[in-house]
């Protein structure tokens, strides 16, 4: 049998992509500070809903409009049900947005250092794109987005820098882009500050995308959503129904609805993470790490005297997983998810031991 690899007729017609590389999910128990998951369990109502779930209901297709979940979100955020779109994690929602809204000949714009999935989708859907550079302090330069484009997308706070820009910054980008769809990816907004949801009523070209994976402790359930003007949500739904009517499974609809209803639990766990983050910043400073001020549930830090790749490997040997990218401009940085206070204590103990040990052994070698 002829192998596909030697068959140019087949090879030339294959859509070839460099896929997104997710963080590791080790199957052993480790201190996992590498994929920005929440260290606390989902709201108690989620466990109750799972236990009481009627499995006979699984014979049937789920509600294609995911009405219960859409209604719960609409009520929570004080918007119309026709302003909410839900999907299988915000990755699904964002991917649908790329497919629906980014069809111009002009390039879409997103920062050079940002969520690396944007580039993957642009390549997958063959959308032209340009990536304005973050400034030397890793800030987005808003003026770079004041030009003709086929659409704009950026996270706020940005990833992996964790830098949050105030609403006025977001609004300036909207004011300069009345003829393009502007997507603000707010995966980390609950740890940060004001959401661009406040601007939805005034800018019909704005789409705000959020997720259950971070502040709502439900990365394993895969739920994300977009909130926008009814017209854009309609177009998004048309594409979704042309792709897969049943993106949201029954379990996700039920559990997601329960999670949204428990505002108190959500606020309590989010506050705990923010407190741990502020304490972790102090500890990192004490160890002489440098980092942009984080407003997310992770800190993007470098040490002026220790190689990030080596630190990453040393921590991994101790079963402490953080994230490191061997790519230009950020190679000397580690992205450290804020875990529980105990997990962070373990991280700092390992860092102290490593920095101290390496310093001593280096001294031995000094001539």
Ligand X SMILES: *Cc1c(COP(=O)(O)O)cnc(C)c1O
Choose between 216 and 303: whose C-beta lies nearer to ligand X: 216
Choose between 186 and 258: whose C-beta lies nearer to ligand X: 186
Does the protein bind ligand X through residue 217 (CB under 6 A)? no
- Classified as helix, coil or strand, 112 is coil
**Other C-beta atoms lying within 10 Å of the C-beta of residue 343:** 17
Residue 156 tokens, joined: 């706020």
- CB–CB of 142/173 below 8 Å? yes
Rounded to the nearest whole angstrom, what is the least distance from the CB of residue 160 to ligand X in the complex?
Answer: 8
Does the protein bind ligand X through residue 211 (CB under 6 A)? yes
**Other C-beta atoms lying within 10 Å of the C-beta of residue 326:** 9
Choose between 115 and 129: whose C-beta lies nearer to ligand X: 115
- CB–CB of 358/303 below 8 Å? no
Residue 92 tokens, joined: 């699904």
Choose between 154 and 291: whose C-beta lies nearer to ligand X: 154
Residue 248 tokens, joined: 């949201």
DSSP β-bridge partners for residue 209: 185, 226
Choose between 115 and 312: whose C-beta lies nearer to ligand X: 115
Rounded to the nearest whole angstrom, what is the least distance from the CB of residue 235 to ligand X in the complex?
Answer: 21
Distance CA 42, CA 354 (A): 34
Rounded to the nearest whole angstrom, what is the least distance from the CB of residue 87 to ligand X in the complex?
Answer: 8
Choose between 49 and 219: whose C-beta lies nearer to ligand X: 219
Rounded to the nearest whole angstrom, what is the least distance from the CB of residue 79 to ligand X in the complex?
Answer: 19
Does the protein bind ligand X through residue 224 (CB under 6 A)? yes
**Residue from 38, 95, 213, 229 in contact with ligand X (CB under 6 A):** 213
Rounded to the nearest whole angstrom, what is the least distance from the CB of residue 296 to ligand X in the complex?
Answer: 8
Choose between 185 and 258: whose C-beta lies nearer to ligand X: 185
Positions in 88-117 near ligand X (CB under 6 A): 89-91, 115
For ligand X, the nearest residue by Cβ is 89
Rounded to the nearest whole angstrom, what is the least distance from the CB of residue 253 to ligand X in the complex?
Answer: 16
184 preceded by a cis bond (ω within 30 of 0): no
Does the protein bind ligand X through residue 219 (CB under 6 A)? yes
Which H/E stretch holds residue 108? strand 108-109
Choose between 151 and 155: whose C-beta lies nearer to ligand X: 155
Distance CA 189, CA 232 (A): 22
Rounded to the nearest whole angstrom, what is the least distance from the CB of residue 221 to ligand X in the complex?
Answer: 9
Indicate the burial class of 157 (C-beta count within 10 angstroms; 0-12, 13-18, 19 or more): buried
**Other C-beta atoms lying within 10 Å of the C-beta of residue 212:** 26
Helices (H), the chain: 8-11, 44-51, 67-77, 89-101, 117-124, 167-175, 230-241, 250-261, 263-286, 308-317, 341-365
Count of residues that interact with ligand X, criterion CB under 6 A: 13
Which range of residues in 83-91, 169-177, 305-313, 342-350 is near ligand X by CB under 6 A?
A: 83-91
Cα–Cα–Cα angle for 20, 331, 215, rounded to 5 degrees: 55
Positions in 164-203 near ligand X (CB under 6 A): 185, 187
Positions in 131-160 near ligand X (CB under 6 A): 155, 159
Binding site residues, ligand X, CB under 6 A:
36, 89-91, 115, 155, 159, 185, 187, 211, 213, 219, 224
């Amino acid at each position: 049998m002829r192998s596909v690899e030697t068959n140019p007729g087949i090879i030339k017609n294959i859509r070839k992509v460099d896929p997104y590389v997710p963080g590791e999910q080790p199957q052993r128990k480790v201190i996992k500070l590498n994929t920005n998951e929440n260290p606390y369990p989902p709201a108690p109502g989620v466990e109750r809903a799972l236990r009481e779930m009627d499995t006979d209901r699984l014979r049937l297709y789920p509600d294609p409009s995911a009405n219960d979940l859409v209604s719960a979100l609409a009520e929570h955020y004080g918007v119309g049900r026709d302003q909410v779109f839900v999907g299988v994690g915000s990755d699904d929602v964002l991917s649908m947005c790329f497919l629906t809204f980014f069809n111009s000949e002009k390039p879409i714009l997103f920062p050079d250092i940002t969520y690396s999935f944007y580039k993957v989708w642009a390549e997958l859907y063959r959308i032209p794109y340009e990536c304005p550079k973050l400034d030397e302090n890793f800030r987005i330069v808003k003026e770079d987005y004041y030009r003709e484009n086929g659409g704009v997308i950026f996270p706020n706070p940005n990833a992996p820098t964790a830098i949050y820009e105030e609403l006025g910054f977001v609004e300036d980008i909207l004011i300069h882009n009345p003829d393009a769809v502007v997507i603000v990816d707010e995966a980390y907004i609950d740890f940060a500050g004001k959401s661009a949801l406040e601007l939805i009523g005034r800018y019909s070209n704005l789409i705000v995308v959020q997720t259950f994976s971070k502040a709502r402790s439900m990365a394993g359930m895969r739920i994300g959503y977009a909130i926008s003007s009814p017209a854009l949500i309609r177009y998004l739904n048309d594409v979704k129904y042309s792709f897969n009517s049943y993106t949201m499974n029954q379990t996700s609809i039920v559990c997601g609805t329960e999670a949204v209803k428990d505002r108190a639990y959500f606020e309590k766990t989010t506050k705990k993470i923010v407190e741990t983050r502020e304490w972790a910043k102090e500890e990192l400073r004490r160890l002489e790490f440098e980092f942009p001020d984080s407003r997310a549930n992770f800190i993007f830090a470098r040490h002026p005297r220790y190689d990030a790749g080596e630190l990453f490997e040393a921590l991994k040997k101790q079963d402490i997983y953080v994230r490191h990218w061997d790519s230009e401009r950020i190679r000397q940085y580690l992205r450290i998810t804020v875990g529980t206070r105990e997990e962070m204590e373990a991280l700092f103990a390992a860092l102290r031991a490593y920095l101290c040990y390496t310093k001593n052994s280096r001294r031995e070698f000094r001539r």
